[in-house]
Amino acid sequence: MIPAAAHQEVLAVVGPRGVLDRPEDLTLYEYDGSVDKARPDMVAFPRSTEEVAALVRIANKYHLPFVGRGAGTGLSGGMVARAGGLMISFARMNRILEIDLPNERVVVQPGVVNLDVTLAVQGDGYFYAPDPSSQRACTIGGNVSENAGGPHTLAYGVTTNHVLGLEVVLPDGSIVTTGGKETDQPGYDLTGLFTGNEGTMVLVTKVWLRLMRAPEMVKTILAIYNSAEDAGRTVQEITARAITPVAVEMLDGLMLRMVEEATGAGYPLDAAAVLLIELEGLKEAVEEQVEQIRQCCAACNAREFRIARSAEERDLLWKGRKNAFGAVGRVASAYYVQDGVVPRTQIAGTLRVIGEVADRHGLKISNIFHAGDGNMHPIIMFDKHKPGDLERAQRAGEEILEHCIRVGGSITGEHGVGMEKNEMMGHLFDEASLAMIGRFKNLFDPECRLNPGKVLPLGKGCMEIRQRPLSAASEI
């Protein structure tokens, strides 16, 4: 519960229209895109960095846990208020502060929607590269906290490769700036440390981003297969030829049928899998790579090789891919999406394992993923009204991630650990590595008030609200 005195101080900072505390309003803020839920006691909507810092100081004064929230599109419970307390929403900090095209830079507040950055500069021939599937809704602050990726980051890199500087509020309420417009500043790379901190070390209040020039030519290819394993082998063949498309996405038969029925994007209903491949760059180079990829697909038994004939056709194919998660809702009451990573050479084998897991648990699992970097997104469908079905889906997800680790992969590629996968961190890291991660968290948040219960397994120091003082937690 929020003490009455704390409630009044929050109102004094953001005003009566900047607070939500009625149960019916708080219900909307108890979840993100994952399956976990926990309700905050109050949601505050600051308009400036100074107001964010003031809210953090109030939380400290009254010993309240607090958590930042962007658009709530995360998929690992990263912004779920696991311990209740104060939620700080950045919905009203949504301005693009500066566009500097000569230096290919833009400065934004954390509540700016990802796609709006590109829309603001595309008329001048620029774009912002990281493009999560939720880019029409997700915000830059959340992207920074989770180090978001997306289909086109195979060649361009993920969020951390495009963040030049940050203004952040520390858990004690102080305001600091790391990096900026300049490149390669001296000192420790704190910008890199804070990008991907999952909202557990700092609250991001301003971001300096890198812009990129639009390419001369774009070609989008749809390769169609009667075997998902052949599609997986194609990715290996493309890599062996030293070709790096900007995107290589794979949809299995179950997923592409759901997508096609929902969007009419032009995917074949009778295929076992498709690859959506995109190339960008100079005209001559792209045309040469198209032919090489045509050969790769033919060598791996692709039954059909299509090239989008217009920008409209290309946009429709990508509309199908980026609306895929929503399409699942037409056939399942609920789903649980995973985010494991495997080496590209293990994609075909991992698809077989996912099929075996589905059969063993009596579940439907569809696959859509960033095949170019082995970032798998098996979507586990379940009936949320059926007792035990969620637990079966979660166990299936754990088995898939355990396989990813066994073959040299990871438990997350872009969705983050959050409260969904924190208990699996011990499978991926040894005690010494977990201790190092815990010490970083302790360094910035010794009282463990900022987004507690995330990233590290429960019991590892900062995962407890009443955290021991750092001096007494040397083993953590």
- For 84-99, the pLDDT digits (tens) are 999 999 999 999 999 9
Rounded to the nearest integer, the mean pLDDT of the chain is: 93
Please give the pLDDT value at position 459.
65
Looking at the structure of the chain, the number of domains it has is 5
303: domain CATH number is 3.30.70.2190
Domain boundary among 374, 406, 438: 406
**Residues 184, 227: one domain?**
no
Tell me: the pLDDT tens digits for 391-426? Answer: 999 999 999 999 999 999 999 999 999 999 999 999
pLDDT at 369 over 70: yes
Look at residue 422 and tell me if it is in a domain: no
State the pairing for strand pair 163-169/175-179.
antiparallel
188: domain CATH number is 3.30.465.10
Question: Does pTM surpass 0.85?
Answer: yes
Domain boundary among 195, 213, 231: 213
Domain boundary among 263, 295, 326: 326
The residue with greater pLDDT, 229 or 69, is 69
Please give the pLDDT value at position 469.
38
Mean pLDDT of 262-267: 92
Please give the pLDDT value at position 182.
84
Look at residue 101 and tell me if it is in a domain: yes
Confidence of residue 476 (pLDDT cuts 50, 70, 90): very low
Look at residue 421 and tell me if it is in a domain: no
Please give the pLDDT value at position 461.
46
The answer to whether the CB of 198 falls within 8 A of the CB of 78 is: yes
Please give the pLDDT value at position 81.
98
Domain assignment of residue 383, given as a range? 332-406
Please give the pLDDT value at position 373.
92
Look at residue 453 and tell me if it is in a domain: yes
The residue with greater pLDDT, 364 or 466, is 364
- Nearest CA to 133 out of 347, 353, 342, 415 is that of 415
